[in-house]
């Protein structure tokens, strides 16, 4: 459709009192109004926020206490210590040290994540029984997830990634994997490393100091 000329438009501007308004309208007729952002552009920030979660944490696991799905992306930007646990192991008292570690450094950005596993035949209870044991015996309050496999073909996706990035799979209960704020695996430690061991804590502190 052709746009009427300014002259013809002026002829329609009657009475004379409306002439000024018409002239103003015609003066702005050629100006282009900025178009509204496209749907894709509007979605860009949301997409950017989604990609902020590192691949290491792009997993969902059921919570130990009630099996409600938990998205690990909620821990993006934190220093994450992942530990495979068991209730009937010689290293089970490490729960106390892990809880102390989580409590001491939580405000600085540390979170301990516990994954009970029966891969070494030392975790036979139900999820509820494990949760009750951890809380009543060691006062565990750090996030715990439903019983899972942590090695071999049946290992859950997180532990497969941890094994690939660190070059080691859990050889026993209470293996420890540290993930930095950037989502990269920093280091892995065997069951023999106690949660309060000086060298171990030093690495955690150095990661907490990094921004």
Question: What local confidence, expressed as pLDDT, does residue 211 receive?
Answer: 76
Answer yes or no: is pLDDT of 205 > 80: yes
Q: Which two tokens stand for residue 130?
A: 């494990």
Strands 79-85, 110-116: pairing kind: parallel
Q: Which of 53, 73, 89, 134 is the catalytic position?
A: 89
CB 146 within 8 A of CB 61: yes
Answer yes or no: is pLDDT of 95 > 90: yes
187: exposed, middle or buried (Cβ count in 10 Å: 0-12, 13-18, 19+): middle
Place of tokens 């329609």: 12
User: How many residues can be counted in the chain?
Assistant: 211
Question: What local confidence, expressed as pLDDT, does residue 53 receive?
Answer: 97
Place of tokens 């989580």: 102
115-160 pLDDT, tens digit per residue, is 999 999 999 899 999 999 999 999 999 999 999 999 999 999 999 9
Task: State the Cα–Cα distance between residues 144 and 27, nearest whole angstrom.
Answer: 67
Question: What local confidence, expressed as pLDDT, does residue 57 receive?
Answer: 98
Q: What is the mean pLDDT of the chain?
A: 84
| Contacts of residue 162, Cβ cutoff 8 Å, sequence gap at least 6 | 56, 82, 177, 185, 188
Answer yes or no: is pLDDT of 24 > 50: no
CB 170 within 8 A of CB 151: yes
Question: Residues 97, 102, 105, 111: what is their CA dihedral angle, to the nearest 10 degrees?
Answer: 140
Q: Tell me if residue 13 is catalytic.
A: no
CB 118 within 8 A of CB 170: no
Out of 3.40.30.10, 2.60.120.1600, 3.40.50.620, 3.30.70.260, the CATH code matching 63-209 is 3.40.30.10
């Amino acid at each position: 459709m052709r746009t009427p000329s300014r002259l013809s438009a002026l002829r329609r501007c009657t009475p004379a009192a409306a002439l000024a308004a018409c002239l103003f309208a015609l003066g702005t007729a050629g100006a282009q109004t900025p178009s509204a952002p496209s749907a894709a552009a509007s979605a860009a920030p949301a997409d950017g926020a989604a990609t902020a979660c590192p691949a290491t944490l792009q997993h969902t696991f059921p919570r130990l206490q009630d099996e409600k799905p938990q998205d690990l992306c909620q821990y993006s930007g934190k220093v994450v210590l992942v530990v495979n646990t068991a209730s009937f192991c010689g290293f089970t008292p490490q729960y106390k040290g892990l809880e102390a570690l989580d409590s001491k450094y939580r405000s600085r950005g540390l979170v301990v994540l516990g994954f009970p596993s029966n891969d070494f035949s030392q975790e036979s209870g139900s999820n509820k029984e494990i949760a009750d044991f951890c809380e009543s015996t060691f006062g565990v309050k750090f996030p715990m997830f439903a019983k899972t496999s942590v090695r071999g073909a049946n290992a859950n996706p997180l532990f497969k990634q941890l094994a690939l990035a660190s070059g080691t799979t859990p050889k026993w209960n209470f293996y420890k994997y540290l993930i930095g704020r950037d989502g990269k695996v920093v280091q892995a430690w065997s069951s023999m490393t106690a949660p309060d061991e000086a060298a171990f804590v030093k690495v955690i502190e150095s990661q907490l100091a990094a921004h």
